[in-house]
Amino acid sequence: MIFLKKHNMKFIKPINIKNSHKLLSWSLLASAIYFFLITSAHLFGLKIPVLFIYFNVPSYIYQDMIIAFLSFGFGMFLYAGYSSVKRNELITTKYIIVAGFGVVLGLMNINFLTDFSFFEVEFNLKISVLNFWSQTIFVLAYVLWILFLYISAINFNKKKFEEDSPKSFNDVSNNEQKEFSKFR
């Protein structure tokens, strides 16, 4: 902290983005649609790499069905976040960010602890863990993007609230007097 103050690094401070609410709502809507596509891919067994994180690892139908229902639930959660941001409510977004970091930690846990060489030997496959890590990093980048937009939207709301609210009691009474004098 002392280093930052000494060198006057202003890039650490939150940035106010004029359209942060729009960017946030569109980002949440896009990810909700993405999760609905994941649901469809898992329901119909379509092993599309972008829609299956572990696309080249064999899975059973019941596993795909479980993932389909869970991804539908997460898609609805993201859609609820989109709807709440459209109403200028940001509380749902906070929970989406927490859930997103939980997803990243879960994927990291799988990438670190799963012995993918077992699948290579058992099913005669060549599995590149690099693909899994790149998708995990993409999810992390998305969560950080949502976090950035969330902080920007909160700062924008605070700034707007400060501009809209009266500065003191005298300001309130002066404003009321001005309004009243219009009708005289």
Question: What single string gives the DSSP state of each residue in 100-119?
Answer: HHHHHHHHHHHHHH--HHHH
The reported pLDDT for the residue numbered 152 is 92
What predicted TM-score, i.e. pTM, was given to this entire model? Answer: 0.75
Cα 42 to the chain's mean position, in Å? 22
pLDDT confidence of residue 65: 94
Among the listed residues 135, 133, 139, 134, the one whose alpha carbon sits nearest the alpha carbon of residue 96:
139
Backbone φ and ψ for 140, nearest 5 degrees, come out as -60, -45
Is the predicted pLDDT of residue 17 greater than 70, yes or no? Answer: no
Whether the Cβ atoms of residue 166 and residue 175 lie closer than 8 Å to each other: yes
3-state SS, residue 76: helix
Binning pLDDT at 50, 70 and 90, where does residue 132 land? confident
Question: Span 35-47, mean pLDDT?
Answer: 93
Kindly give, in sequence order, each residue whose CB lies less than 8 Å from that of residue 153, ignoring residues fewer than 6 positions away.
17, 20, 21, 24, 85, 90, 93
Element (H, E) at 85: helix 61-86
pLDDT at residue 168, as a whole number? 57
* pLDDT tens-digit map of 150-176: 999 998 888 877 777 666 555 555 655
d(CA 63, CA 89): 35
CA dihedral 18, 23, 24, 30 (to 10 degrees): 170
Taking every pair of Cα atoms in the chain, the longest distance, rounded to a whole number of angstroms, is 90
Determine the Cα–Cα distance for residues 158 and 156; give it in Å rounded to an integer.
5
Q: What does residue 180 show for φ and ψ, rounded to 5 degrees?
A: -65, -40
CA distance 29 to 35: 10
Res 1: pLDDT: 39
Section 62-87 average pLDDT: 95
Distance CA 177, CA 159 (A): 26
